Structure formats: C-alpha cells, structure tokens
Amino acid sequence: MENNNITKINWYPGHMAKAKRQMEEQLKLVDIIIELRDARIPQASSNPELAKMANNKPRLIILNKADLADQNESLLWKNSFEHCLLVNSIDDNLTKIVVNEVKLILKDKLEKAKARGIRKKVLRAMIVGIPNVGKSTLINNIVKKKAAKAENRPGVTKALQWIRINEDVELLDTPGVLWPRIEDPNNGMLLALIGSINDEVLDTRELVDYGLKYLVKEYPGYINQRYGVDEDCDNLLETIGKNKLWLSSNNEVDIAKTISLVLKDIRSNKIGRVTWQKYVGE
Ligand SMILES: Nc1nc2c(ncn2[C@@H]2O[C@H](COP(=O)(O)OP(=O)(O)O)[C@@H](O)[C@H]2O)c(=O)[nH]1
Ligand SMILES: [Mg+2]
C-alpha cells in the first residue's frame, strides 16, 4: 500500500495538538461524552484517542445516518456497545431520546447528588466526532429553537456556551472535532467511500474498485440492480461504463466519468443501504 496517497496526509499538525488539549479541558467539564459516529462505518468513524482523552467518563455512542446503513448490521453494532443509540439526525425527533438516555446512563450520579442534598443536578454533555458525521445537525436537532443559552461559566479561559436542553441536561454549544483515523489505509478507504475525505487526496480508481468488490461480495444484486450488469464479469467498472454509455468522444468507456458517477452513486446511497464495515463479533 506504499503508493496509497491516503497514507501521505499529515493529520496531526500543530493546530491539531492544540485542539486536542482544548478538547481535553472541555471534556473535564462534562458528565457525559456523546460520541457521534457514522452508522455505515461504526469503527472507522471513531478515533481511539478519544477513549484516552475521555478518562473513564461515561460515553454514549450515537450511530448517526442510520437511514443510510444496513439495518441488520446497525442492530448488531448497537448491541455491541454499552450505551448506544441509532439515529437519523435529519428526520428523527431526538431531544427526548437523547435526554432520556443521558439520564439513564447517569442515574447513579443523579441519585448520589440527591442523597447529598443537591436537589437539582444539571447534567452536562458534549458532542464529539470526526468531521462530517453530523455533529452540527445533531446539535440543531436536539436543541431546536426553544432552547435558551445558559450563562457563561466562570473559571474557564474561553467562555463556553452551554445550551440548556431541558431542566436536567445542558449541552456545550460547539462540538469537539476529532481527527479521522486515516493512517490506516483501510480506514482511509472507508472514510473516502462515505465521502468524508476529499477526492483529490486519493486514488479514486482504487477506491471505486474496493467499493465495487465489497458490494458484489456483501450485497449481491445491488450492482446488477443499479447498472444492469453481470456482477461476476471481468472488469466490472468498464462494463458498468459501457452499459450506461458513459463514453468519451472516441466511443470508448470514459473511465474518469464512470469512476466519478459510481462514487457519486455510492455516496448518495443510490445503490442502496450499505454498511461498509461489518460487525465481526467479540
Ligand atoms: N442521511 C443523513 N444525512 C445526515 C445525517 N446527519 C447529518 N447528515 C448530513 O451530513 C452532512 C454533514 O453534517 P454536519 O452536521 O455538517 O456534520 P459535522 O461536520 O459533524 O458537523 C450534512 O450534509 C448533513 O445534512 C443523517 O442522520 N442522515
Ligand atoms: Mg459541524
């Protein structure tokens, strides 16, 4: 894989280190971390550094964009995590669902506070995740218009804005951005397939071949249904281009166009609901 461009990106420049330190400071202030991941790649859309930064804080994993993923796989993944919700941040109504889950996870903490005479403990949460998993969409969904901004907290270098979701829970108004894990070429490939990494930085032919091979193996019939081709043929990509008449002026298959249109179909789920990283058990 030495020629794989994905591995050449330096994802850890100085400003990342600074952002990481800042996030660590913010994480200290919360009772629970809401980690957003993409349901189509539940592991590759996480960053293992978070577990270290989280320092044993309770963590709710939200598998977002569940509307785009394979439902059976999503359930397997969901059940593999201690605390997990499967959501569509665009269409679901998530305020109550998330608040209730947070309260359930922090039930002991709430009871202890009550026993110590604190009548109304407000739970603080922060959303974190790699770019494009839907952090802003989820915050807007949870917060909606009725939410009022809570006061700034003293003692924090940069005043943080907490948004009161309801009487029990408040949320940091800006999410923590984790860097994607693309040093591992396979993760890079998966992130690129769902459109989290820009096309310019990778070999799109390699990417589309990977995607097609996976679909033929794991979702037989999808490619045939979309493009009307025999999935077992040699040169699947060329056959798709030929069948769809994606040709260049000399009447040969326009490979660049075919790559780009198939990738577009994959990313916009025209091919179907797909989980690109299957759950393989313990
Ligand atoms: N299909 C689908 N798209 C989503 C969902 N949540 C977010 N998106 C889309 O994903 C893209 C990235 O979302 P955004 O909230 O900006 O991600 P952020 O970078 O993590 O803040 C946007 O185009 C959203 O509309 C979801 O649950 N389902
Ligand atoms: Mg955002």
Q: Which residue ranges have their beta carbon within 6 Å of ligand 1?
A: 64-65, 67-68, 88-90, 129, 131-137
Question: Same structural domain for residues 262 and 219?
Answer: yes
Residue-wise pLDDT for 201-233, tens only, equals 689 999 999 999 999 999 999 999 999 999 999
Question: Same structural domain for residues 37 and 92?
Answer: yes
Atom number, ligand 1, closest to the C-alpha of residue 139: 15
Question: Same structural domain for residues 125 and 242?
Answer: no
User: In the prediction, which pLDDT does 3 show?
Assistant: 44
What is the C-alpha separation between 256 and 241, in angstroms, rounded?
10
Q: Which ligand is nearest to the Cα of residue 74, counting in written order?
A: 1
Residue-wise pLDDT for 258-280, tens only, equals 999 999 999 999 999 999 999 99
CB atoms inside a 10 Å sphere around CB 69 = 26
Question: Same structural domain for residues 124 and 167?
Answer: yes
The number of distinct structural domains making up the chain is 2
Question: Same structural domain for residues 30 and 88?
Answer: yes
Q: Which ligand is nearest to the Cα of residue 137, counting in written order?
A: 1
Between 278 and 196, the higher pLDDT residue: 278
Range of the domain at 85: 5-177
- Please enumerate in sequence order all residues whose Cβ is within 8 A of that of 157, keeping only pairs 6 or more positions apart, or say none: 25
- Whether residue 1 has pLDDT greater than 50: no
Question: Same structural domain for residues 44 and 172?
Answer: yes
DSSP letters for 160-229: PPEEE-SSSEEEESSPEEPPP--SSHHHHHHHHHTT-S-GGGS-HHHHHHHHHHHHHHHSTTHHHHHH--
14 phi and psi angles, rounded to 5 deg: -50, -40
Question: Same structural domain for residues 159 and 232?
Answer: no
The amino acid at residue 114 is K
Between 3 and 186, the higher pLDDT residue: 186
Q: Report the CATH number at residue 213.
A: 1.10.1580.10
- Say how many Å lie between the CA of residue 175 and the centre of ligand 2: 7
Question: Same structural domain for residues 116 and 238?
Answer: no
- Please enumerate in sequence order all residues whose Cβ is within 8 A of that of 251, keeping only pairs 6 or more positions apart, or say none: none
User: In the prediction, which pLDDT does 263 show?
Assistant: 96
Question: Same structural domain for residues 134 and 253?
Answer: no
Asked whether residue 13 is domain-assigned, the answer is yes
Asked whether residue 184 is domain-assigned, the answer is no
Q: Is 141 exposed, middle or buried (0-12, 13-18, 19+ CB in 10 A)?
A: buried
Which of 132, 270, 275 gets mutated to test ligand 1 (max ligand atoms within 8 A of its CB)? 132
Compute the mean pLDDT over every residue in the chain, rounded to the nearest whole number. 89
Question: Same structural domain for residues 16 and 125?
Answer: yes
Q: Report the CATH number at residue 35.
A: 3.40.50.300
Are 258 and 237 spatial neighbours (Cβ–Cβ below 8 Å)?
yes
Which of 45, 89, 139, 143 gets mutated to test ligand 1 (max ligand atoms within 8 A of its CB)? 89
Asked whether residue 233 is domain-assigned, the answer is yes
Question: Same structural domain for residues 74 and 169?
Answer: yes
Ligand 2 (ion): which residues have CB within 5 A? 135-136
Are 163 and 118 spatial neighbours (Cβ–Cβ below 8 Å)?
no
Question: Same structural domain for residues 242 and 113?
Answer: no
Which of 36, 88, 137, 267 gets mutated to test ligand 1 (max ligand atoms within 8 A of its CB)? 137
The candidate with the shortest Cα–Cα distance to 177, out of 58, 15, 29, is 15
- Say how many Å lie between the CA of residue 132 and the centre of ligand 2: 7
Asked whether residue 275 is domain-assigned, the answer is no
Going by pLDDT thresholds of 50, 70 and 90, the confidence category of residue 145 is: low
